[in-house]
Amino acid sequence: MRIKMFGAACAMALVGSAFAIPAQAQDSIFIPLLSYRTGPFAGSGIPIANGMNDYLSMLNERDGGIGGVKIAIEECETGYDTNKGLECYEKLKAKKPVVINPYSTGITLGLIPKAAVDKIPILSMAYGLSASADGNNFPWIFNPPATYWDGLSMILKYIGEKEGGIDKLKGKTIGYIFFEGGYGREPIPLLENLAKDFGFEIKLYPVTAQEMQNQSAQWLNVRRDRPAWMIMWGWGAMNPTAVKEAAKINFPMDKFVGVWWSGGEDDARPAGADAKGYLTLNMNGVGAQYPAIQDIMKHVVDKGKSQTAKDKVGENLYNRGVMNSVLMAEAVLNAQKITGRKAVTGEDVRRGFETLEISAARWKEIGLGDFAGPLKVTCANHNGHHAAYMQQWDGTKWVKASDWITPMTDKVQPLLTAASTEYVTKATGWPKRTEACDKAS
């Protein structure tokens, strides 16, 4: 009986502590990071979270924040679970964040309608809802530098180039292996359109969440269908398994192309030398040689203020996280310029994003010369449809394997407009854009 009393007392004590929300520090810019360091997708989530966190901490250490205002960083663990993500959002909302990174398509979809109401911009860097690239319908959502449809068209361009002209694709078969869910299904309409336009055949190989590590049947199908190329839209544990299985059926690895979320070091490393030749799209540089990353090393990692292991700094997904933070920092800087205020709000940062422009010179100034392509966001175009490049696994690390490839905007844009209009018509009562458009400063 006494144990029961003890249990009850514990429960009571916990109830008491639940409803306290701590006050926030004044005069700082609050940037929460929704990250996932736990759960089945942690392998991809940890390096991204580290990269995002470390770059912002570096700005705090080196420059005293952005424009002299400290950044208050808070991570909230989502475990890639939409419910937990929304809970994080509700909790963080009270502290007036200037921007939200959901880092999960499911969470992004849940937050899109809320953004305009709560006046907090959402940055879903190259994930989330492709249609939200339309700034006129989605003034609060930003998804630079490219959408999945852009990515797919770039991959096909690359394939066309390797085949000696995109018209050579006629009569060939292209396989598409994808994560069974919104993320992997999204590119299919475009793939079907392109197949019609260029006369190639497509074969679809879905991988459900339970079967991520058990893909032998899918790859047997690949072996039977003998596609000339394989395209992959994978995430988490699905990637390394797919690479291993591809090697197992002797699929030519240099004809196996993944999207930018299939290009982590941990995706190719388990297969090691067998994965040599495997290609993925990428939009950020790999390696720790960039001055800004060296600054992260000096100011954050070496001082033990990071959760990152030293040899992981500069890996692909880590640098992706850094890029994500650069976009936020630049948007905040822009907002400060436009408004002349230092402690900016979510509304200001939204304007900062709409005038975001990072030229090659600016990338260099940040200390990330040649790290990523020049990037520009406008009021109408919240994505920019920027180029990406192809990287290849050489057995131990990623190396750049192509020049920057631009997307086939003429094929992508009609789908995008249609999707955006459809979203808005289906969600009856979707607010018209009332936010004014700033001139780029």
For other proteins, the binding residues in 107-136 under the rule CB under 8 A are 109-110, 112-114, 116-117, 129-131
Coil, strand or helix at 9 = helix
Among 86, 129, 82, 97, residue whose Cα is nearest residue 427 = 129
Q: Find the DSSP H helices in 148-305.
A: 148-163, 182-185, 188-198, 216-225, 238-248, 265-268, 291-296
| Least Å from the CB of residue 356 to other proteins | 24
Binding segment toward other proteins, per CB under 8 A, in 40-48, 61-69, 157-165, 335-343: 40-48
# of chain residues touching other proteins (CB under 8 A): 94
The Cα 258–Cα 275 span in angstroms is 12
The b/e string for 259-284 (b: 16+ C-beta within 10 A; e otherwise) is: bbbbbbbbbbeebeebbbbbbbbbbb
- Residue 207 touching other proteins (CB under 8 A): yes
Q: Interface residues for other proteins in 290-349 (CB under 8 A)?
A: 307
The Cα 310–Cα 306 span in angstroms is 10
- Residue 153 touching other proteins (CB under 8 A): no
- Residue 223 touching other proteins (CB under 8 A): yes
| 30 in Cβ contact with 301 (< 8 Å) | no
Residue 419 host element (H or E): helix 409-426
- Between 3 and 436, whose beta carbon lies closer to other proteins? 3
| Least Å from the CB of residue 37 to other proteins | 3
- Between 49 and 329, whose beta carbon lies closer to other proteins? 49
Query: DSSP string spanning 375-402?
Result: EE--SSBSS----BEEEEE-SSSEEE-S
| 34 in Cβ contact with 100 (< 8 Å) | yes
- Between 259 and 358, whose beta carbon lies closer to other proteins? 259
From residue 235 to residue 254, what is the string marking binding to other proteins with x (rule CB under 8 A)? -xx--xx--x---xxx----
Tokens (6 digits) for 355: 């005038």
| Least Å from the CB of residue 340 to other proteins | 31
| Least Å from the CB of residue 195 to other proteins | 16
- Between 28 and 307, whose beta carbon lies closer to other proteins? 307
Q: Interface residues for other proteins in 62-81 (CB under 8 A)?
A: 74-77, 79
- Between 62 and 203, whose beta carbon lies closer to other proteins? 203
Residue of the chain from 27, 87, 192, 197 that contacts other proteins (CB under 8 A)? 87
Tokens (6 digits) for 295: 């600054």
Residue of the chain from 176, 205, 363, 393 that contacts other proteins (CB under 8 A)? 205
| Least Å from the CB of residue 432 to other proteins | 13
- Between 211 and 394, whose beta carbon lies closer to other proteins? 211
Coil, strand or helix at 204 = strand
- Between 16 and 165, whose beta carbon lies closer to other proteins? 16
Q: Interface residues for other proteins in 4-33 (CB under 8 A)?
A: 4, 7-8, 11, 14-15, 17-22
| 122 in Cβ contact with 349 (< 8 Å) | no
Q: Interface residues for other proteins in 396-425 (CB under 8 A)?
A: 415, 419, 422-423
Residue 357 host element (H or E): strand 357-358
